Amino acid sequence: MKEFIIEISDKRTRKKDYLVFSDKDLLEIRQEAGNSPVSPFIVRRMEKSASEKSYSLAGLQKQLFRVARDILVGRERLYSIVARSLEPEDPSFSAEHVPSSVGPLSLAFYENHVNDLERLVESIIDRNHIALVWNHARGFLLDRLSTNYPLFGDAKTTALRDPREVLRFIIQKPQPRVSYIFEDFHHFIGNEGAVNPEIGEIRSLIKDLHRTFGERDEKVYFLVPSSYDLPLELQPFVSESAKTGRGSKRFLEKYGQNLTDESYLLGTKPVVGMSTIIERVIQILTQMEVSNPLLVGNPGVGKTAVVDGLAAALMRNRVPSVLKGRMLYALSLNSLVAGTRYRGDFEERIKQLMGEVRESKGKIIVFIDEIHTLMEAGAAEGALGAGEILKASLARGEFPCIGATTFMGAEYLARDAALSRRFRKIIVNEPTQDETLRILKGVAPALEKHHGLEIEDEALRAAVELSLKYLPDEYLPGKAIALLDAASAYCRMKGMARVGELEVRMEVKRMQRL
């Protein structure tokens, strides 16, 4: 049976809902229309259904008639309409808000399976419902049930392990005040691109279950990992639970790293000699227009160190009031692209990520290293690259972003004038020998703590001078720090207590031999 799904959303309130038309609905509309044109009747049905869900489709007649024509010719896909919610905007709404009520079918995401399952069970019991857990290995688990509640009449039903039979059983047998929890049901629902008869049958049963539960006092929770993405066709039928381990930064957490997290900053080296550049980055971030800094410099000159320094300043609130409370995420384009086998997969990921940043209302800044790769990341035949998708959001200031690239990468980025205009360039030059020595003195304590030995001042000077002489293809301070780190690691391996000039020279010889 074909289904036509229409997503309606209100950007003002960030509310979203779905209208679903089935073949049966279309047949009823055709019968109602008789000999009259069918499209106006479909449009009226859409407006009525949207109104019942507290949305107004006024002024969208042209778009609605286009959707109606697609439905009539059987073009089955997801449509998206920006509507106006009739509900007042909640002034207390924030990026962390989760609706207090969910539909009869919900995803419950877990980070720690045991703990999150236990919390979900307790929340169900608190609502005076009976929690019934099902898994593929054992069927239904009855140990949490009241002995006075006659749920099943035989052991055969209790031991149901086939997910299709379980869903059919729930559809056919109402159980008031029961909340079912299906453990790791993502294995049976599949991902967006999964296609086989069993998965198709299970998805159809889930849709039937949603329709059946309309008047029943029952709920179903599909307990799945926090990284799981529900297939698009099921999103109108399965909502996200308010009792989940997954927050509103799911895609950022999955494809990025929170640089303002204290545990991350504790593992970074001290940032020395970059205060002027960090101040410049902060200044650009607070501008009204072109507020996206672009760090340009050779590999190893300290572009990432600038970002770490900014993250530390944000975490300690040593920034202007307009930036206080913001979080900085490093985005991995490689992770975003990985696993996108089907056309549109990457676009969907980047749009979901943009939505999370937008909903944070400016509280999230994204750092993208090697940002010139943005121009073609995810681009394929018939699909848009990340740069094309992000241009409008960057221009409107909805996607605060810091980029980093080399001089060659900046030239490549400049080929797309519209994208490069969204960034304000900051040149990060290679430091002098004296500046590099000051940087090494700042970094040395962290290296000493990591390797458990002492680094002499002569070793610092030797690292600067020898890296300049013997590593001409690399840049300060990165190559000097790398040489000092390698010498320290070798000394630690040999049980030595300190690193001097001789040890650094010996490390250079080892590098030349290899």
Task: Retrieve residue 323's tokens.
Answer: 């930036």
pLDDT at 426: 98
Q: What is the pLDDT of residue 316?
A: 85
The DSSP element (H or E) to which 130 belongs, if any, is: strand 130-135
pLDDT in tens, 355-413: 888 888 788 999 999 998 877 665 554 455 677 778 878 878 889 999 999 999 999 99
**pTM to 2 decimals?**
0.56
* Residue entry with tokens 């052991």: 155
Whether the CB-CB separation of 385 and 376 falls below 8 Å is answered with: yes
Query: Could you tell me the CA-to-CA distances from 96 to 248, 357, 388 in Å, in that order?
Result: 6, 12, 28
- The phi-psi region of residue 310 (left if phi > 0; otherwise alpha if psi is between -120 and 50; otherwise beta) is alpha
Cα distances from 117 to residues 102, 160, 178, 224, in angstroms, run 18, 20, 16, 10
DSSP 8-state assignment for residue 383: B
**Pair of tokens at residue 92:** 């207390």
- pLDDT recorded at residue 101: 42
Find, among 470, 477, 494, the residue nearest to 443 by Cα.
477
User: 10 Å Cβ neighbour count for 122?
Assistant: 11
Q: What is the pLDDT along the chain (514 residues), one digit of tens a residue?
A: 566 778 777 756 656 677 777 777 888 888 888 888 888 888 888 888 888 777 888 777 777 888 888 777 765 555 667 776 665 544 433 333 333 345 789 888 876 677 778 888 888 887 788 888 998 888 887 544 444 344 555 555 556 889 999 999 999 988 888 899 999 999 999 988 788 899 999 999 999 999 888 778 899 999 988 778 888 888 888 886 544 444 456 678 778 888 988 778 888 889 999 999 999 999 999 998 899 999 999 999 999 999 999 999 998 888 998 898 899 999 987 777 776 655 566 777 788 888 888 888 788 999 999 998 877 665 554 455 677 778 878 878 889 999 999 999 999 999 988 889 999 999 999 999 999 999 999 999 999 999 999 999 999 999 999 999 999 999 999 999 999 999 999 999 999 999 999 999 999 999 988 7
Supply the CATH classification number for the domain 254-427. 3.40.50.300
Return the residue matching tokens 């042209």: 62
CB atoms within 10 A of CB 140: 19
Output the pLDDT for position 447. Answer: 96
pLDDT, position 242: 42
Tell me the domain boundaries of the chain.
Answer: 3-85, 105-247, 254-427, 433-513
- CATH number for the domain whose boundaries are 433-513: 1.10.8.60
Find all residues with CB under 8 Å of 384, minimum gap 6, and list them. Answer: 347, 378
pLDDT value of residue 274: 94
The tens digit of pLDDT for each residue in 199-255 reads 999 999 999 999 888 778 899 999 988 778 888 888 888 886 544 444 456 678 778
Same CATH topology for 105-247 and 254-427: the answer is: yes
CATH 3.40.50 given to domain 105-247: yes
pLDDT at site 246: 45
**Are 140 and 134 spatial neighbours (Cβ–Cβ below 8 Å)?**
yes
Q: What is the 3-state secondary structure (H, E, C) of 401-455?
A: EEEEECHHHHHHHHCCHHHHCCCEEEECCCCCHHHHHHHHHHHHHHHHHHHCCEE
109: tokens are 């995401």
